[in-house]
Structure 1
């Protein structure tokens, strides 16, 4: 029995869309939107430390492409290290591909050769490609100079850690999209009393979503304390 096609990129988390990314560098969202929807658009290279939103944008790119009726694929390279050639071969036939976490294969010669070959095939086939890594190509521990050269030819988007005002905006946006009532005092408490890494904050919001639904409670500071105390 065939599996029905999922509509509107439902394979990708609904919170992770281009329009929901907070504090993007100027022009970055427009560049990603073009890469998602326009064949022959400039390939992009996202660089930024952990927690700066690379995975959000990579998934959002794929969702945007599928919303436009194009075939897309997201591949976290940490999951393919050591067998990258097979993983990349499986991506043939897509219109848009996002490769996340280049640092995972840096220094692994076989994987680097596989990526170099895929890069060249993708360019010849007219595929749109996004790379994401913690560092720019010159700072990755690559053993293939030719691969470094290919990666360096892509237009770069440099992502920076969010400040507290932007973290608060992310929490407000995520809460609003879920229909959560998240008081400003609760946001201030989360930013001052918990891990301010964005991934940790979003994970906490996911937990609060479940807990508040179960308890039929608004997310207030007393409720936050209750939830946090229950986990210690």
Structure 2
């Protein structure tokens, strides 16, 4: 929004929109229908406020050789999404992709990629746990299946006392102990395969991801 939360700038404020969107952002709702209604309210208020008025809409052309099978035309992003290079088939098993590259940021898979061109490459080099259907936008499992148990947002679940977390101060994994609470519990069924060097994936890779976030994000 105007001002970008920079205190030196004038910042757009709307307490009603803030209240609604904070509920959406923090998952402070109790049902799918309530979430849908919050999004509807925020959308109507945002349009009525007309903070930004778009004067032009562009059409992005995408070209693909007729001999390439399996091109996926994402309703939101065209054929440049992750599914086209993964799903496409050619006669000689080689897929050539041309890019009108305007700029490129740093290749930083840890801090995040800042340009679409790097992101297009990165999307073909990793599998997310879940992804969105290119036609419906609904989430579907890629590398994991899951089940959710929740008591939220009003109540809490007991955290098992032997659950572990990385402590960056003590530099070791610690048990959470008795008395800890959580809003939700998600159980994942992970689909393992091999890394690029042939090494098999296992639970240590998951623990490393938790460690990295706690160690360098604290």
TM-score (norm 2): 0.19
Higher relative contact order (CA 8 A, sep 6+): 1
Structure with greater strand share of residues: 2
TM-score (norm 1): 0.18
Report which of the two structures shows the higher radius of gyration computed on alpha carbons. Answer: 2
